[in-house]
Amino acid sequence: MRVDIYSYFLSYGNTRLGLVSYFLSEKPRIVQPLKSETVIAGQSALFTCMVEGNPFPRVQWTVSGMSALASPRFGEVFTMPRGSVLRITNALPTLHGAVIACIAENALGHAEATARLSVYQNEDAAPTGFPRFLNVFSVIVAKKNDKVELECRTEGDPPPTVRWYKDSTPIDLVNARFLVTG
């Protein structure tokens, strides 16, 4: 829990007359809009919910009104420093049109954001221009502090936006450790 404390002292000469402490409390706020995702059946969909508040909000996910933790078919929830990630693995066509909700709560209230999940039956059912990966990913074994290059080639119209994740957590590309080209 993050707590902001401000202390004020009232003194006269060498005598301390009082101490006032102030704790800043904030109701939850979702600071980055939830993005709708479209995938082909069998692929994974990631939803990221960035939140603020004090005390720091607890984040819950629902899929069409059901807790994401209620069924393994809804995937996994990961906590990150400023929020949470819901990873729906092996998306099923039955989830097409599902409403994904991120709910942030603390003692002062709650905030909610929603997005939709669209699932195409197969690649042939996807519209022309649907984003596709052109390369196959493989496991890379490296020693600590070794330089590693990962290639991600895509096609689509409009050109797809590529987002990088490590352990289902978005990578901070501002960090000097990472260089993205192309």
- pLDDT recorded at residue 163: 83
Number of neighbouring beta carbons within 10 Å of residue 76:
14
| Domain coordinates in residue numbering, the chain | 26-170
Give 3's pLDDT tier (boundaries 50, 70, 90): very low
Query: Does position 170 have pLDDT exceeding 50, yes or no?
Result: yes
CATH topology of domain 26-170: Immunoglobulin-like (2.60.40)
User: Is a pLDDT exceeding 90 seen at residue 11?
Assistant: no
CA distances from 8 to 120, 141, 165 (A): 60, 54, 43
pLDDT tens digits along 81-130? 899 999 998 999 999 999 999 999 999 999 999 999 999 999 899 888 88
Is the four-CA dihedral 97, 98, 100, 101 of positive or negative sign? positive
- Asked whether the whole model's pTM tops 0.75, one would answer no
Give every CB contact of residue 57 below 8 A, 6+ residues apart in sequence.
28, 51, 104, 105, 106, 110, 111
- Give the separation between CA 122 and CA 78, rounded to whole angstroms: 28
The separation between the first and the last C-alpha atoms of the chain, rounded to the nearest angstrom, is 39
CA distance 151 to 136: 9
Q: Torsion-angle region of residue 50: left (phi > 0), alpha (psi -120 to 50) or beta?
A: beta
C-alpha 74/C-alpha 63 separation (Å) is 7
pLDDT value, residue 12: 63
